[in-house]
Structure 1
Amino acid sequence: MALRLVFFGLVVLPFTLLGLPIQFVIVRTGLPGWQFLPSIFFKLLAFTLGLRVALAGQPLAKGPVLVVANHIGWLDIIAVASKVPVSFVAKSDVARWPLIGTLARMHKTVFVDRARRTDTRRTAAEMSARIAQGVPVLLFAEGTSGIGTHVLPFRSALVGAAPKDGASIQPLAIAYTKISGLPLSRSERRQIAWIGDMGITDNLAAILGSGPKDVVLAFGAPIPATIDRKLVAKRAQTTVRRMLNALNRADPLPRDGEVV
């Protein structure tokens, strides 16, 4: 843990302090290349936290896309953003968190107030506009986080945010498979997952205190956005569940590519 904290203080923190004003200007003025600095930041952060991220399958590189994924904890964001340039959909509370809220806005995060049903329409419109601009958006479709052994039902309301004219929905399974090179036990999953009323300080201490963590991002076959949103949510949920189960059992993925 000590070496990771030293790396954070000597490398990650200075990079953040220097890069944040530059990123602010890029985002506010609409300059291209807004993903460049965040990509470096998340790679450094993933290294600090001991994440070893592998890709399986092929993330869509062209065209408008909404990625729908399972959710285990805030480490998911770091793992995904260190490999794939996406904007996230996050609960509105995150926007008010000191520093974290600022970093989220600089990463073009779309915020949703889940306590207000009327906010769903506004959020969907913002997601749709972002996707239409060619910015991939990632939605944690369960609406909450789990321990990583199963997939909760995907909520369909925001899945319908993908534009119907040419957009795709791509399922993504996020699986934490090993700690220090050994298969992850159920009890060790609580060192990674953010469950219930767990405080971020306790969760961060558990993550920093654990060894290197292997995480696989498995991308499934895209689904056309023209299909009914409830059917899309069901199909994506089934795909993510099958891939997650395979990764947790160390079985071959079901026709969704190999780890690269």
Structure 2
Amino acid sequence: MIFRVLFFVFVYIPVLIVVIPAQALINAFRLPFWNVLPRFFHRVGCIFLGLRVTVIGQPATGRATLLVSNHISWTDIIAIGSVADVTFVAKREVGEWFFVGMMARLQKTIFVDRTRRSDAGRTATEMGAHMAGGNAVLLFAEGQSDIGTHVLPFRSALVGAAQHAMIDAGARDVLIQPLTIAYVRLQGLPVGRTDRSLIAWIKSKSVRQNIREILGGPVKDVTVAFGVPRPLSETDNRKRVTKAAEDDVRAMLVSLNRGKSLPAKVA
């Protein structure tokens, strides 16, 4: 804990002082290297939070890509953001949180209001426009976080809406890629079911309690596994496409949680 306090004071705060205004200028002038500073910031965040990230596979690059992932904790964003250049889709409330909302906007996070069905169209249009420039957008397709032992059913509605929005925006060569995040070790020891409550953001915990447990907890080994990307066309059945990605994410999570090698088609 002493290390994290010193790191926060002498490294993290100076990085914030430099990164925030620099990223704001990069976004204002719409410079093409907008993703460089967020990735650096997330890597510094991994050190601060005690996240050791291992990558399996690789993210698709150079093409419009919709990444669909499971979701365990707010630290997922730090871990994934440290190894991939992505824009996240987050619930509207995140944009209203102190400091977090500002940082999310600097990374061009797309916000969705889950209480309004009509908002899905606006969100999908933003996703499509961003991907039309050859960028990647990550969707936590379960719609909520889970403790990390299994994968909840993926929601196909936003995938389908984004599917058509991408085409409308001119992104013809589109990929959908499954991504799995798994917390596999705490302080070098395999993570058990009871240990997962120290990582996951579950409903019974307040934001403050979860942050306190993460900051005061041991080093966490995190695996970010990129599955095989598939072409996504306007005519593909959204439910079938979403279910295939869900099955891939679930298979990877089960293997990682059991300490097994991933299937050959994934690794």
Bin of the TM-score, shorter chain as denominator length: over 0.9
Larger mean CA deviation between 120-129 and 193-202 belongs to: 193-202
1:240 aligns with 2:258: no
Task: Tell me what 1:167 maps to.
Answer: 174
Which residue type is aligned with residue 112 of structure 1?
Answer: V
What does residue 144 of structure 1 align with?
144
Which deviates more from structure 2 when the two are superposed, residues 157-166 or residues 141-150? 157-166
Alignment root-mean-square deviation, CA: 1.1
Match of 1:204 among 180, 189, 211: 211
CA distance in 2, matches of 1:126, 1:235: 24
Alignment deviations for residues 141-164 of structure 1 (CA, whole Å, 9 cap, x no partner):
000000000000000111121424
Counterparts of 2:24 and 2:227, CA distance in 1: 33
How far apart are the structure 1 equivalents of 2:206 and 2:232?
A: 37
Aligned partners of 1:90 and 1:112 also within 8 Å: yes
**TM-score normalised by structure 2 residue count:** 0.94
Cα offset for 1:197?
4.0
Rounded to whole Å, the distance in 1 between the matches of 2:189 and 2:73 is 20
Per the TM alignment, residue 25 of structure 1 is displaced from its structure 2 partner at its CA by: 1.1
Quote the residue 1:255 is aligned against: 264
Q: Which moved more, 1:176-185 or 1:31-40?
A: 31-40
Secondary structure of the residue that 2:252 maps to in structure 1? Answer: helix
Hey, what does 1:118 align to over in structure 2?
Answer: 118
Residues 5-35 of structure 1, C-alpha deviation per residue, up to 9 Å, x if partnerless? 2101111111112211111111122012111
Q: Which residue of 1 aligns with 2:202?
A: 195
Which letter maps to 2:214?
I
- CA deviations 1:178-225 (Å, max 9, x no partner) are 001110011111111001142122111111222110111111111221
Q: C-alpha distance in 2, partners of 1:19/1:208?
A: 22
Alpha-carbon contact 1:150-1:244 (below 8 Å) kept: yes
Shift of 1:173: 0.7
Q: Matched residue of 1:147: which SS?
A: coil
Taking the aligned partners of 2:12 and 2:21, their CA distance within structure 1 comes to: 15
Q: Which whole-Å CA distance do the structure 2 matches of 1:228 and 1:13 have between them?
A: 47
In structure 2, the residue corresponding to 1:201 is in which secondary structure? helix
Q: Which runs of 4+ in 1 moved over 3 A?
A: none
Q: Is the 8 A contact 2:228 2:266 kept in 1?
A: no
Q: C-alpha offsets along residues 114-162 of structure 1, whole Å, 9 cap, x if unaligned? A: 0000000100111011111122100000000000000000001111214
Among 163, 166, 181, the residue aligned to 2:188: 181
Q: How many residues align?
A: 258
Give the match's secondary structure for 1:122. Answer: helix
Q: Secondary structure, in 3 states, of the residue corresponding to 1:157?
A: helix
Unaligned segments of structure 2, at least 5 residues: none
Distance, in Å, in 2 between the alignment partners of 1:198 and 1:135 is 34
Point out the more displaced range, 16-25 or 69-78. 16-25
Query: What does residue 74 of structure 1 align with?
Result: 74
Measure, in 2, the Cα distance between the counterparts of 1:177 and 1:204: 19
Structure 1 residue 55 displacement after superposition: 0.6
Instruction: Determine if contact 1:69/1:171 at 8 Å carries over to the other structure.
Output: yes
User: Is 1:221 the counterpart of 2:228 in the alignment?
Assistant: yes
Structure 2 contact 183–191 (Cα < 8 Å) conserved: yes
Partner of 2:50: 50
Q: Unaligned regions of 5+ residues in structure 1, if any?
A: none
The one-letter code matched in structure 2 to 1:85 is: D
1:108 is the counterpart of 2:128:
no
Contact between 1:246 and 1:252, CA under 8 Å: does it hold in 2?
Answer: yes
Shift of 1:257: 4.9
SS in 1 for 2:183: strand
1:53-101 deviation digits (Å, cap 9, x = unpaired): 0111121122110000000010100000011010000001111111110
